[in-house]
Amino acid sequence: MPNILVTGSKGQVGSELQELAGSYAYNFYFTDRDSLDITNKESIDAFVKNNSIDTIINTAAYTAVDKAEEDRKNADKVNHLAVKYLSEISKEKNIKLIHISTDYVFDGKNYKPYSEDDATNPNGVYGATKLAAEKAMQEINPLNSIIIRTSWVYSSFGANFVKTMLRLGKEKDSLGVIFDQVGTPTYARDLAKAILEILPQVKNERVEIYHYSNEGVLSWYDFAKEIMRMVKLECQINPIETKDYPTPATRPHYSLLNKAKIKKEFNIEIPYWKDSLDECLIILGERK
């Protein structure tokens, strides 16, 4: 039975992997920053050796996009250097590595869905540190390892856009939500399922990059409107432009991901975003 190390187990994807673990014939080791310091290579090496790890799923990340602008050192340690260490150990010990990356490696100026080989050009520190990790992993090149870029992640765990909208929708009569940033949300449970489904099929000599999000295209405004509609909240959602909601970090205006590669190579089906949102809202107890 494969021994799988999951980092970032208290995050959204890590939490969903824990929920799904019992349905798969794998032996999981779920870790967070308190149980394993992935910014320390010796700590990773000892954990891998002591537990005979043969697969690593890295869901850990410094995801405070705005805070990263002023905290580059720590963002780089978690998003870049930790992945470098995981890649080096994976190569040394012939361990399969699945690493989660982001749409923020792109500048959002495209006019069609981003494919895996489109030029990267991150707008801020978060995207830059995640891209540095991708490049380090590709350069080190552990065997049978992949990078999965995703976008707009939400789940029933942790803090995310869906839970924020539910809270504000109950507190306020109206909300302004950005309509000129376009992409697709990703239900973390769908991504976790996809990772576990494709895991046995991952066999490659060079690190491959794949894109994964739910199907469909929408703005944050559309997303908020659908949340309110599904849970029957009376809160009025008003469209606003990005310039009317300034943030320290610049977000991509367009981050739609082309998922043809992952669907074709691993023969997986990706759920439509509204169906996944409905499932999440049921789990949250907001829909019956």
**Distance (Å) of CA 155 to CA 36, 130, 280, 288:** 24, 21, 6, 17
CATH code where residue 51 lies: 3.40.50.720
Looking at residue 96, what is its pLDDT? 97
Looking at residue 287, what is its pLDDT? 82
Q: Does 232 map to a domain?
A: no
Count the domains in the chain.
1
* Among 91, 122, 124, CA closest to 105: 122
Q: Does 221 map to a domain?
A: no
By DSSP bridging, strand 55-58 and strand 146-150 are: unpaired
Instruction: Identify the H or E element spanning 208.
Output: strand 208-211
Q: Does 219 map to a domain?
A: no
Total-model pTM:
0.97
Active site residue 126: yes
Looking at residue 14, what is its pLDDT? 98
- Alpha-helical (H) ranges within 25-105 are 41-50, 65-68, 72-76, 82-93
Q: What range does the domain containing 58 cover?
A: 3-158+185-214+256-272
Q: Are 95 and 142 a contacting pair, CB within 8 Å?
A: yes
Report how far residue 144's alpha carbon sits from residue 107's, in angstroms, rounded to the nearest whole number: 29
Report how far residue 166's alpha carbon sits from residue 148's, in angstroms, rounded to the nearest whole number: 28
* Among 250, 265, 139, CA closest to 202: 265
Tens digits of pLDDT across the chain (288 residues): 899 999 999 999 999 999 999 998 899 999 999 999 999 999 999 999 999 999 999 999 999 999 999 999 999 999 999 999 999 999 999 999 999 999 999 999 998 999 999 999 999 999 999 999 999 999 999 999 999 999 999 999 999 999 999 999 999 999 999 999 999 999 999 999 999 999 999 999 999 999 999 999 999 999 999 999 999 999 999 999 999 888 999 999 999 999 999 999 999 999 999 999 999 999 999 986
Q: Which residue has the tokens 């050009």?
A: 121
Looking at residue 245, what is its pLDDT? 87
Looking at residue 1, what is its pLDDT? 80
Check residue 233 and report its DSSP letter.
Answer: -
Q: Are 154 and 187 a contacting pair, CB within 8 Å?
A: yes
Q: Does 220 map to a domain?
A: no
Q: Cα torsion for 265, 268, 273, 275, to the nearest 10°? A: 170
Looking at residue 121, what is its pLDDT? 97
Q: Which of 26, 29, 62, 126 is catalytic?
A: 126
Backbone dihedral angles phi then psi of residue 18, each to the nearest 5 degrees: -65, -40
Q: What residues does 240 pair with on adjacent strands?
A: 178
Looking at residue 85, what is its pLDDT? 98
